[in-house]
Structure 1
Amino acid sequence: MGSIHAYTAAGGRRYRVLFRKPDRTQGQKRGFKTKRDAELYLAEVEVSKARGEFIDATAARVTVGALGAEWLASQQHVLKPSAFAPLESSWRLHVAPVWSERPVGSLRHTEIQAWVSDLSRSMSPTSVLRAHGILAGTLDGAVKDRRIPANPARGLTLPRKTGKPKIYLTHTQVQLLADASAHPTLVQFLAYTGLRWGEATGLRVKHLDALRRRVKVEENAVKVNGVIHVGTPKTHATRSVPYPAFLSEPLARMCEGRGRDSILFGDGATHMVLPHSQRGWFTAAVGRAQAADPDFPRLTPHDLRHTAASLAISAGANVKAVQRMLGHASAAMTLDVYAELFDHDLEAVSTALDQARSAAVVAKALPRAQPSTASMP
């Protein structure tokens, strides 16, 4: 148990509470005007210690900046460079300037909500959610360390992400784009395998199985802050992806004169970087395709991944095959992303139900066979 001691202050008689923290160090709180107030506080301390809910007021004085730096460091060890870079940028530009000097115990739910609302006026939902997630994650750690009793950044009204409509090219449009491109084989490869840009440009000659018409996806080459980082695919799992027969010859020609470790696309020595969104070769190819076909949509290299899903499903591939081809973590994720492409399955359900109902009703409506009278005496 703790103890209570009276002392004289400028404002008169005051009381101080001394107690043992869970770590056995001494804690105190001063300034109680009555002994009863001091006793109530001491009782609350003892109850919170017994329940494992004790919050050390001095621990709440650590700043968001100190804990945020620790949180970012922990994320750097588990995230790919391409995923960590946006977090570091958001912390530096949007979170740290507002909160880094504030003690974690001083933050209030309403002021964090006001900050999120203010960001939402000038930033996309994705950027706002990223900034909020950094602050909320930092304060989650403070809660677990018993620095604060609850996370004031949780339970906010947050902006909702709205995905842009997906673009699906037809076989004819893929060919038109390839013919207009400086890298026709790469365009067709992306449109018929669904590989992400970094997965395709990370392929090496040794990853190509010409007999089975498969590529083994085990590397991902992504440019982050001007540097190409080569690592595992997005889900950290390798996969085997088929490609159609018409790509066999152009892929074989790309392998001629190259060693097993040579990069498949590009010059064989350096990874191709994602073309510039306004001045790159892909945008130029789209422009030429639009000149030839006014209905040709504006798209990015990643939209060819959507095209691959669409072409595979229209060719009769089931959701599990599409999931494996695209490298999604689960078939449920594939359905969530491309549910609109499986509308024909709903039509099949409707047709099957109609046929089942008709069969049941017709069978019930048929007259029952009467016993034969031929054998009666």
Structure 2
Amino acid sequence: MATVEPYDTKGGRRYRVIYRTPERKQTSKRGFRTKRDAELFLASVEVSKARGEFIDAGAARVTIGQLGPDWLRRQSHLKPSSYRPVEAAWRNHVLPEWGGTPVSEIRKTAVQQWVSGLTTGEEEAMPPRKPKSATVVIRAYGILAAILDGAVDDRRVLSNPARGVVLPRKGKKAHVYLSHAQVHLLAEESKHETLVLTLAYCGLRWGEAVGLRVRHLDMLKRRIRVEENAVEVGGRVEVGTPKNHKRRTVPFPRFLAEPLARQCEGKGRDDLVFPGEDGGYLRSTRVQEDRGGWFSGAVKRAGIPRITPHDLRHSAASFAVSAGANVKAVQRMLGHSSAAMTLDIYADLFDADLDAVADALDHAVSAAGVAKRLPLA
């Protein structure tokens, strides 16, 4: 039963409200100068409880800095390569700006100002910096919004003030599609010729290719089983399942059978198909241009557009579509989560399919003998 009780202070009589939370926990609020003020507060508490809108004042005082570490621990399901940029965004952008702010004091206008500051490089809590990319801004904002979603679920705040702010748009990087001649020239200029051809014709991600073991190759059926992913994160190679945790089987063209067989000569079933010089995983950092990598050197010598090993997936998609593969087959080859994702990324490769649909409809109408009855205007 809620009550209003008076008590005396040096400044005069004050009133305390004793009430129970929806969880039946007894609590109180004191300092009211008049009994009417105390009764009005009590009435608002009862109404908020009846509407399911009650927020405990103590719970609302918790800061983003207190909630953030627990939220990060709950992201343990992320792969190391995905977790690392999330942790960096929390440490570099969210914590410095919002760490000491109680969740009840965060306002939508302040979140919008912070997002805009990240985009322009004028963060409020920091000296001017280089503007952040849309990817970094959206990631940092997503962390703050997710923490506040948890605060809403825990009844610390009634609604999430971060939702509904205007975010920067990600610009789509134009894909570079190599020709067959360019791919083979690049392979010839590279010291890992078979690896380059495998990337370009099978659409494997870098980590999937360097994680291949002899047992993953079926030379009779010309299939590659993609079961492991070796990604370099913070100087360490983290080995796990492929992206989205989905294993898949990828075909390889007949001309790759002999080079792949040579890669496996003298090796056991568990040995790597494309090992580094030390016999371990081939490091992605050693292909980069700023470190004098073998791949960037081969790109220069071949005189082709500047690309990374990952960009060879685009050429693999292009070759598959040109060979007549439908979007579902390309999806399976590349390991995308859905055909819609494949279409979204490579919509330009399927423009010819739209022409084929129009031509097929035209032939169907002609065959039905109704074309002459169609209006001319």
Is the pair's TM-score, using the shorter chain for normalization, greater than 0.5? yes
Question: Which piece of structure 1 moves more, 239-248 or 6-15?
Answer: 6-15
Distance between the aligned counterparts of 1:135 and 1:92, measured in 2? 12
State whether structure 2 residue 340 is matched by structure 1 residue 332: yes
State the match for 1:271 in structure 2.
281
Distance between the aligned counterparts of 2:302 and 2:257, measured in 1? 25
Distance between the aligned counterparts of 2:134 and 2:245, measured in 1? 27
Structure 1 unmatched ranges of 5 or more: 291-295, 366-377
- Aligned residue pairs: how many? 359
Question: Which piece of structure 1 moves more, 31-40 or 158-167?
Answer: 31-40
State the match for 2:253 in structure 1.
244
Provide the secondary structure at the position in 2 that maps to 1:356. Answer: helix
Indicate if the aligned counterparts of 1:116 and 1:128 stay in contact, CA closer than 8 A.
yes
Once the two structures are superposed, residues 241-268 of structure 1 have per-residue CA deviations (whole angstroms, 9 ceiling, x without a partner) of 0101111111111111111100000258
State whether structure 2 residue 309 is matched by structure 1 residue 310: no
State whether structure 2 residue 293 is matched by structure 1 residue 280: yes
State whether structure 2 residue 101 is matched by structure 1 residue 97: no
Distance between the aligned counterparts of 1:217 and 1:30, measured in 2? 64
Distance between the aligned counterparts of 1:162 and 1:92, measured in 2? 25
Question: Which piece of structure 1 moves more, 61-70 or 308-317?
Answer: 61-70
Distance between the aligned counterparts of 2:268 and 2:110, measured in 1? 60
State the match for 2:209 in structure 1.
200
**2:340 corresponds to which letter in structure 1?**
A
Provide the secondary structure at the position in 1 that maps to 2:244. Answer: coil
Matches within 5 A, 1:151-166: 151-166=160-175
State the match for 1:231 in structure 2.
240
Distance between the aligned counterparts of 2:188 and 2:372, measured in 1? 61
Provide the secondary structure at the position in 2 that maps to 1:58. Answer: helix
Provide the secondary structure at the position in 1 that maps to 2:19. Answer: strand
Indicate if the aligned counterparts of 1:239 and 1:324 stay in contact, CA closer than 8 A.
yes
Distance between the aligned counterparts of 1:196 and 1:277, measured in 2? 19
State the match for 1:132 in structure 2.
141
Indicate if the aligned counterparts of 2:16 and 2:29 stay in contact, CA closer than 8 A.
yes
Provide the secondary structure at the position in 2 that maps to 1:221. Answer: strand
State the match for 2:185 in structure 1.
176
State the match for 1:62 in structure 2.
62
CA shift, 1:195, in A, is 0.4
Matches within 5 A, 1:291-310: 296-310=304-318
Distance between the aligned counterparts of 2:74 and 2:250, measured in 1? 34
State the match for 1:261 in structure 2.
270
State the match for 1:22 in structure 2.
22
RMSD between superposed Cα atoms in Å? 1.7
Indicate if the aligned counterparts of 1:262 and 1:269 stay in contact, CA closer than 8 A.
no
Once the two structures are superposed, residues 150-195 of structure 1 have per-residue CA deviations (whole angstroms, 9 ceiling, x without a partner) of 1111111111111100111111111111111111111111000000
Indicate if the aligned counterparts of 2:20 and 2:26 stay in contact, CA closer than 8 A.
yes
Distance between the aligned counterparts of 1:147 and 1:8, measured in 2? 32
Indicate if the aligned counterparts of 2:289 and 2:297 stay in contact, CA closer than 8 A.
no
Distance between the aligned counterparts of 1:137 and 1:238, measured in 2? 29
State the match for 2:85 in structure 1.
86
Provide the secondary structure at the position in 1 that maps to 2:198. Answer: helix
Q: Percent identity?
A: 62
Distance between the aligned counterparts of 1:103 and 1:311, measured in 2? 54
Distance between the aligned counterparts of 1:330 and 1:46, measured in 2? 49
State the match for 1:368 in structure 2.
none
State the match for 2:350 in structure 1.
342
Once the two structures are superposed, residues 73-119 of structure 1 have per-residue CA deviations (whole angstroms, 9 ceiling, x without a partner) of 110x2100000001111111111111112222221111111111100
CA shift, 1:276, in A, is 1.9
Aligned residue among 129, 150, 166 for 1:141: 150
Structure 2 unmatched ranges of 5 or more: 121-130
State whether structure 2 residue 366 is matched by structure 1 residue 354: no
Distance between the aligned counterparts of 1:149 and 1:362, measured in 2? 62
Question: Which piece of structure 1 moves more, 34-43 or 171-180?
Answer: 34-43
Provide the secondary structure at the position in 2 that maps to 1:235. Answer: helix
Distance between the aligned counterparts of 2:31 and 2:80, measured in 1? 51
Distance between the aligned counterparts of 2:50 and 2:100, measured in 1? 33
Once the two structures are superposed, residues 30-79 of structure 1 have per-residue CA deviations (whole angstroms, 9 ceiling, x without a partner) of 3334433322321221222233322100011112111100000110x210
State the match for 1:222 in structure 2.
231
State the match for 2:110 in structure 1.
111
Once the two structures are superposed, residues 299-327 of structure 1 have per-residue CA deviations (whole angstroms, 9 ceiling, x without a partner) of 11111001100000000011111111111
